[in-house]
């Protein structure tokens, strides 16, 4: 006998026949699947899934057993509508049908079903396919949890890096040479300190005021040197 995958797995059985619903319920219950929901139509299933505009139940469903031949809205269209809902897209759907025409089964898979069970339902087939589907759902949920945790971790890391790269608070700076004292008491050049605590890169140039001062200083030094040389030759 196939063991149920997790005692908390919830299965929704959708079939317009009371006898078929009770048969599937009995088989699954006998195998340890106690958390079962029953729906007699596609609309009833939508209510269980919280798809109705008026609101209603919205339980976590791990698997849907969906009859194909139902009045008003058949299983194929119901499957398409369920899969169109983002939060239900990963819920496995197994079609239950008496039809074995390959073309018809292809339509079931195209609608979003992952498997099918033929009527009359055999307990061995039912439990094997239900077990595989629940394992698939469990793996999907595990990966989604990991992805969400990774996204959260990356977001926190980006935020931390942004905060680390921002200069905040009071910065001791020398009034004369403009060096900055770091948190260890060492004095550093302004550009070295900023580069270490931010993502800033420096390029070097000379502003107009400094250029003027440097030019005047250079001319003055050259003039002084020329005068000194002239006096030396004169002696």
In this prediction the pTM is 0.64
Q: What is the pLDDT of residue 196?
A: 73
- Locate the domains of the chain by residue range: 11-152, 180-234
pLDDT digits (tens, 9 = 90+) for 109-126: 999 999 999 999 999 999
Using an 8 Å Cβ cutoff, are 31 and 37 in contact? no
The H-assigned helical ranges of the chain are 18-30, 42-48, 75-83, 102-111, 123-164, 190-197, 208-234
Using an 8 Å Cβ cutoff, are 57 and 87 in contact? no
pLDDT digits (tens, 9 = 90+) for 123-162: 999 999 999 999 999 999 899 889 888 888 888 877 766 6
94-112 burial, b for 16+ CB within 10 Å, e for fewer?
Answer: bbbbebeeeeebebbeebb
138-153 burial, b for 16+ CB within 10 Å, e for fewer?
Answer: eeeeeeeeeeeeeeee
Q: What is the pLDDT of residue 234?
A: 55
Q: What is the pLDDT of residue 202?
A: 67
Q: What is the pLDDT of residue 6?
A: 44
- Is the domain 11-152 a CATH 3.30.465.10 member? no
What token pair was written down for 215? 């030019």
Q: What is the pLDDT of residue 2?
A: 44
Residue ranges in the chain whose pLDDT is less than 50: 1-7
Measured between its terminal Cα atoms, the distance across the chain in Å is: 120
């Amino acid at each position: 006998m196939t063991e149920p995958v997790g005692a908390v797995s919830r299965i929704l059985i959708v079939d317009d026949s009371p006898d078929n619903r009770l048969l599937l319920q009995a088989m699954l219950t006998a195998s340890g699947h106690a958390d079962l929901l029953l729906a007699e139509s596609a609309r009833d299933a939508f209510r269980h899934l919280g798809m109705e505009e008026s609101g209603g139940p919205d339980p976590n469903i791990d698997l849907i057993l969906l009859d194909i031949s139902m009045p008003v809205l058949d299983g194929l269209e119901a499957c398409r509508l369920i899969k169109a809902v983002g939060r239900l897209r990963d819920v496995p759907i197994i079609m239950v049908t008496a039809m074995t025409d390959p073309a018809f089964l292809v339509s079931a898979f195209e609608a979003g079903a992952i498997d099918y069970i033929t009527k009359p339902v055999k307990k061995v087939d039912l439990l094997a396919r239900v077990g595989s589907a629940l394992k698939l759902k469990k793996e999907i949920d595990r990966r989604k949890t990991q992805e969400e945790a990774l996204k959260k971790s990356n977001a926190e890391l980006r935020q931390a890096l942004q905060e680390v790269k921002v200069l905040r608070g009071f910065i001791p700076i020398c009034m004369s040479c403009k060096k900055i004292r770091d948190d260890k008491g060492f004095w550093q050049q302004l550009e070295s300190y900023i580069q270490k605590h931010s993502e800033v890169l420096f390029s070097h140039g000379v502003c107009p005021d400094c250029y003027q001062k440097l030019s005047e200083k250079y001319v003055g030094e050259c003039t002084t040197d020329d005068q000194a040389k002239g006096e030396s030759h004169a002696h």
